[in-house]
Copies of this chain bind each other. A is one copy, B any other.
Amino acid sequence: MDAEFGQVSIVGAGLLGASLGLALKQRGLARRVHGVGRRQVSLDAAITSGAIDAGFLELADGLAGADLIVLAAPVNQAAAMLEAVQAAAPLHAVITDVGSTKADICRRAAELWSAPRPFVGSHPMAGSEKFGPEHARADLYDGAVCLVEADTSIDPRAADTVRRLWQAVGALVVAIDAAQHDALLARTSHVPHVLSAVLARLADGEDIVPDLIGNGFRDTTRIAAGRPELWTEICLSNRDAVLAALGDARKDIEAFAAALESEDESAIAAFFDDGRAARQRLCGP
């Protein structure tokens, strides 16, 4: 009998793509895993590590015969290659991605394919400061949350395949509308990255005393150490939602500053009270 997902073609052999390949192969979920990359040396390394069975430099070669296609390229590249993927993909193939923003690529897919479409956006919330195929792990998705696009234009069979894919590698699947995904992520992830960078930039200077750096500062600025190119890409591909959330953050800062300026103790206390209550609601006590 065939492995559950047949031939899987993964485009992009970075941390997310290579980890998916390892997970599929180690769990026997794919009959064959093809990798598509831009450098032969990366593809050879992925074959050696056991993440893929064969590597291809040309998209059309790598997608030939695929039952399931996973775009694991950076978020802007994945959207830009969607038309080429459509041209090269077998008609029955189901297609998904792993990008951190969803509205752009899902809108593009809805333009390219008429309903019911075979593309279903995914956002596995895995990965960290470590990146590149050398950090790939078969258990990267184990226990991770994977947000999967919900939309009436999606072929139910494709939605089912993509849901099963992430569950098969250990992820908890949560269905979500692409625009809602981006609006929520702007507030829970993208703007926190911007403000984390603002805090690091604010404290930096010739007059800094390293001994003054405490755990609070370390915690709030930890994600500022993230890859600049990744966050540039994410903010650009989620521009409107990030700008809207940043506007709300600015208003809140201005309200706090006005309360402090006028020494309005009860307004300041209410601000911190609400912040603590919100943090406890969102993250637990």
Q: Which of A's residues lie within 8 Å of B, judged by CB? A: 125, 128, 145, 147, 172, 174, 176, 180, 184-185, 187-189, 191-204, 207-229, 231-232, 235-236, 239, 242-243, 245-250, 252-254, 256-257, 260-261, 263, 265, 268-269, 271-283
For this complex, 25 residue pairs linking A to B, each with C-beta atoms less than 8 Å apart, are A172-B211, A174-B209, A180-B207, A184-B207, A184-B212, A185-B212, A188-B208, A188-B213, A189-B214, A189-B216, A192-B199, A192-B220, A195-B198, A196-B220, A197-B276, A198-B249, A201-B275, A204-B281, A210-B282, A220-B223, A224-B276, A224-B279, A232-B272, A246-B256, A246-B260
* Chain B residues within an 8 Å CB radius of A226: 272, 276
Considering residues A184, A195, A211, A281, which has the most beta carbons from chain B within 10 angstroms of its beta carbon? A195
* Chain B residues within an 8 Å CB radius of A243: 257, 260-261
A199 CA to B273 CA, complexed, in Å: 13
* Chain B residues within an 8 Å CB radius of A128: 215
A89 CA to B171 CA, complexed, in Å: 65
A147 CA to B20 CA, complexed, in Å: 50
Q: Do residues B192 and A232 form an inter-chain contact, with CB atoms below 8 A?
A: no
Q: Do residues A203 and B269 form an inter-chain contact, with CB atoms below 8 A?
A: no
New A-B pairs, 7, CB < 8 Å, besides A226-B272, A243-B260 = A125-B214, A188-B208, A192-B221, A193-B216, A195-B198, A195-B220, A197-B276
* Chain B residues within an 8 Å CB radius of A192: 199, 216-217, 220-221
Q: Do residues B187 and A203 form an inter-chain contact, with CB atoms below 8 A?
A: yes
Q: Do residues B269 and A229 form an inter-chain contact, with CB atoms below 8 A?
A: yes
Q: Which of B176, B235, B273 contacts A228 (CB 8 A)?
A: B273
* Chain B residues within an 8 Å CB radius of A200: 275-276, 278-279, 282
Given known A-B contacts A184-B209, A216-B189, A201 and B239 have beta carbons under 8 A apart: no
Q: Do residues A203 and B221 form an inter-chain contact, with CB atoms below 8 A?
A: no
Q: Do residues A276 and B220 form an inter-chain contact, with CB atoms below 8 A?
A: no
Kindly list the 5 A-B residue pairs having the minimum CB-CB distance in the complex, ordered from nearest: A197-B275, A204-B278, A228-B272, A200-B278, A200-B279
Q: Could you tell me the distance in whole angstroms from the C-beta of A125 to the nearest C-beta in chain B?
A: 5
* Chain B residues within an 8 Å CB radius of A245: 202
Q: Could you tell me the distance in whole angstroms from the C-beta of A176 to the nearest C-beta in chain B?
A: 7
- Please name the residue on chain B nearest to A264 by beta carbon: B236
Q: Could you tell me the distance in whole angstroms from the C-beta of A40 to the nearest C-beta in chain B?
A: 28
Given known A-B contacts A207-B184, A243-B261, A225 and B279 have beta carbons under 8 A apart: yes
Q: Do residues B239 and A263 form an inter-chain contact, with CB atoms below 8 A?
A: yes
Given known A-B contacts A188-B214, A283-B221, A253 and B147 have beta carbons under 8 A apart: no
